[in-house]
Structure 1
Amino acid sequence: MSLLSALRLNMTNAPGTTAGSAERYRAALEMASYADAHGITAIGCEEHHLAATGWLPAPLLMAAAVAGATQSIRISINALLVPLYDPVRLAEDIAVLDQLSAGRVSFVAGIGYRPQEYHAAGKDFRRRGELMDESLTVLMKAWGDEPFEYHGRRIDVTPKPHTKPHPVFFIGGMSAAAARRAARFGLPFSPPMPMPEIEAVYRAELDRHGKQGFVFCPENGNTVTHLTTDPEAAWARCGQYFLNEAAEYSAWAVPDVPRPNESPVGTVAELRRADKVEVLTPEELIAQCRAGRTGVTVHPLMGGLPLDAGWESLRLLGEKVLPALCAQP
């Protein structure tokens, strides 16, 4: 029996905390190496800026470090806020990352929804759709074999990526506009949770453009799992750390912009009811998988979670859950 298992590394901490960050980043690479050695499917991270929790602002750097600390595990950036970058420099950085990892890194191109992030990058939030289209066009041309014209100049990005015809990437989003953009560029679409109506827009638009593609989304949306031998004790000790990240994410909600797991949370009790974080024993997760569950994401550095608690969760996945499922006929 196989389980799609992921280690999430977005490096959030307690709000306003910087002490111990270097230790936590080193622990992230040690956890990545452990995940690689214990059969975990993938390692993921995503990009945010100006976060009180220190949410990872440099996912390409993190992906490169993780690639250097691992041998075979897949690495995914979910999501990379493409319009915030210079597109030529982004094409170069991703090409080098693709070479460093021998094609193990994929990314989800996200447009973002926070005006503050655009302001910090010197970008016009009102032009985000136009910026996204321009960036995607440049990336696709830059990774091709031929030079191309960009703002009146001849550009030939080198090195070219290891992966042909280009690194693996998806268009992310939860809107019809994102689905149409993915189809128009002939790229796979990756909403953060199952969204049948939006997926139907994507498939119809693929047909209209005569292109092929597919949809990929996580079974449980953005829900993360913490494994422990004593769930009530874990909630008592770790609930506030879980809340640090969830509360900040909830505070970023923008009217009329859909996001996964959107219900606001302000207390640990609300977080437990919202199912954004589930705390399970290994036996409970094994039983769910045997009943048909296909995916799990552990988040052992969430919101400043103590390192020993994070390691316990990861090791229970790697040494209890996955071996038990592999032994299942």
Structure 2
Amino acid sequence: MPSSLRLNMTGAETDPTQRSARYQAAIEMAEYADKHGFNYINVEEHHCAQNGWLPSPLTMASAIAARTQNAGIGIMALLVSLYDPVRLAEDVAVIDLISRGRLSFIAGLGYREIEFHALDKPFAERGKWMDHVLDTLLKAWGDEPFEYRGEMITVTPKPYTRPHPMFLVGGMSKVAARRAARFGLPFSPPMYDAELEAYYYEQLKAHGKQGFMVAPPEDFALWFVDENPDAAWAEIGHHFLNEVQEYNSWKRAGLARPMEMPSASVEEIRASGRYEIVTPEECIERMQADKDKNAVLHPLVGGMPLERGWRSLELYCEKVLPAL
């Protein structure tokens, strides 16, 4: 019965003191969750978001690594096509060393043109650049020097995890599945697709590689724990709406996205079932009924007041986990 903590830092305050307090609270929540046996603490990456979506997942992951001991630290997803590959290899290796092998990430391509513009990367060539980044990462984490842009280089330090830190290739297309298979890397689409899964395994066989696919379950939802869900939706539902409306504003024709939903009102968010406010008793009942269910807590969703976020996390740790 795994438990995960999601920290994406949505809900940007205008006051720097308040913004600092939210980041401090996120690190403290990660430490608290780790001490109470959470399996994963996950962060994300987006740039130029109106509501402050976390733009620096490596920095955040490093801070979490320094304050935790056991939980896995995931970046879901790391937009590798926005990075210099050698510097990325170095940064990931350092975090992997600090965390003693607890870091993992989904390598994402990215789909928002403004992010590529802001970070001076060509949007039209992002697939080619992602291939270059993945190839460089795997070579950089190896033991031997390798040729890079006409010179032999050795990238140090080497990561804690051998042969390299755990990472998967993200994406929802056949191109992404082929990319994962070609590199012999696990594939992690944001939604399950049986046809895409079959295609990925066909491509693995064609390239003589081994791998596996991981996708969220069909009933994936983000939980916020409260003893009175109806009253909570009325009081704090606008924070969920804040996050969803920002995400929906990035919609792109023809691109399937797992958390896209009607967002004209709090009632529509609630009806989607993707964001849930649940009682401790309901958490216990669901997790006892499904031993493999991954409870994903999202206590700081959309600028949630810190005291309410803490109450959600504490209810889960104090009432749910002991019962399980």
What's the CA shift for 1:192?
Answer: 2.0
Which residue identity is paired with 1:130?
A: K
Moved over 3 A (4+): 14-19
Alignment of 1:205-284 (within 5 A): 205-219=203-217, 223-284=221-282
Which secondary structure state, in structure 2, belongs to the residue aligned with residue 171 of structure 1?
strand
What's the CA shift for 1:210?
Answer: 1.5
Which secondary structure state, in structure 1, belongs to the residue aligned with residue 256 of structure 2?
coil
Is the 1:192–1:222 Cα contact (8 Å) retained in structure 2?
no
Is the 1:14–1:53 Cα contact (8 Å) retained in structure 2?
yes
Deviations 1:97-146 (A, max 9, x none): 11111111101100010000011111110001101101000000011111
What's the CA shift for 1:315?
Answer: 1.2
Between stretches 272-281 and 138-147, larger displacement belongs to 272-281
Distance 1:145 1:157 in 2: 9
Is the 2:181–2:207 Cα contact (8 Å) retained in structure 1?
yes
Is the 1:243–1:268 Cα contact (8 Å) retained in structure 2?
yes
Q: Structure 1 unaligned runs (5+)?
A: none
What's the CA shift for 1:15?
Answer: 7.4
Is the 1:227–1:281 Cα contact (8 Å) retained in structure 2?
yes
Is the 2:261–2:269 Cα contact (8 Å) retained in structure 1?
no
1:74 corresponds to = 72
Alignment of 1:18-37 (within 5 A): 20-37=18-35
- Residues 181 and 195 of structure 1, relative CA distance in 2, 3 Å threshold: same
1:174 corresponds to = 172
TM-score under structure 2 length normalisation: 0.96
Distance 1:34 1:129 in 2: 39
1:295 maps to 2:294 = yes
TM-score under structure 1 length normalisation: 0.95
> Percent same amino acid at aligned positions?
55
Between stretches 247-256 and 285-294, larger displacement belongs to 285-294
What's the CA shift for 1:261?
Answer: 2.7
Q: Structure 2 unaligned runs (5+)?
A: none
RMSD (Å) for aligned C-alpha atoms:
1.4
Is the 1:16–1:52 Cα contact (8 Å) retained in structure 2?
no
What's the CA shift for 1:263?
Answer: 2.4
Which secondary structure state, in structure 2, belongs to the residue aligned with residue 20 of structure 1?
helix
Deviations 1:79-101 (A, max 9, x none): 00001011111111111111111
What's the CA shift for 1:155?
Answer: 1.6
Deviations 1:253-280 (A, max 9, x none): 1111111032231211111112221111
What's the CA shift for 1:285?
Answer: 1.7
Distance 2:143 2:170 in 1: 26
Which secondary structure state, in structure 2, belongs to the residue aligned with residue 233 of structure 1?
helix
Which secondary structure state, in structure 2, belongs to the residue aligned with residue 214 of structure 1?
coil
Which residue identity is paired with 1:296?
A: A
Count of matched residue positions in the alignment of Structure 1 and Structure 2: 323
1:322 corresponds to = 321
- Residues 15 and 307 of structure 1, relative CA distance in 2, 3 Å threshold: closer
1:105 maps to 2:103 = yes
Deviations 1:239-266 (A, max 9, x none): 0111111110011011111110322312
- Residues 14 and 238 of structure 1, relative CA distance in 2, 3 Å threshold: farther
